[in-house]
Amino acid sequence: MRFPEFEGEWKKGVFADVCKIGTGNKNTQDREEDGLYPFYVRSATIEKINTCTFEGEAILTAGDGVGVGKVFHYTNGKIGVHQRVYILSEFNEVIG
């Protein structure tokens, strides 16, 4: 798939060249049924939590388990993040 406005050749690169990569620091057991923030774990299910791990715009993806390469979330705000979920943030401008 290509966006209609994209012209030229694809460039291969490394995520670390275009964004910051980090992980969360929470465990699945930290979830709270009526928590204040969305809590991203290693599945497509978004739980709730009372503590904020990250604030800002990010793409999240599972770092292990059955969700690797299959589970992605876009978020922009205050969230909780599981320790095995990668946080891709602070994107550099990438021009075709």
Segment 42-83, tens digit of pLDDT: 999 999 999 999 999 999 999 987 778 889 999 999 999 999
Band the pLDDT of 94: cuts 50, 70, 90. low
Strand, coil or helix: 29:
helix
- Residues 6 or more apart from 74 whose CB is under 8 A from it? 58, 59, 60
pLDDT at position 77, please? 97
Query: Rounded to two decimals, what is the model's pTM?
Result: 0.83
Segment 11-53, tens digit of pLDDT: 778 888 889 999 999 999 999 999 999 999 999 999 999 999 9
pLDDT at position 53, please? 92
- Residues 6 or more apart from 15 whose CB is under 8 A from it? 21, 88
CATH class of 15-89: alpha beta
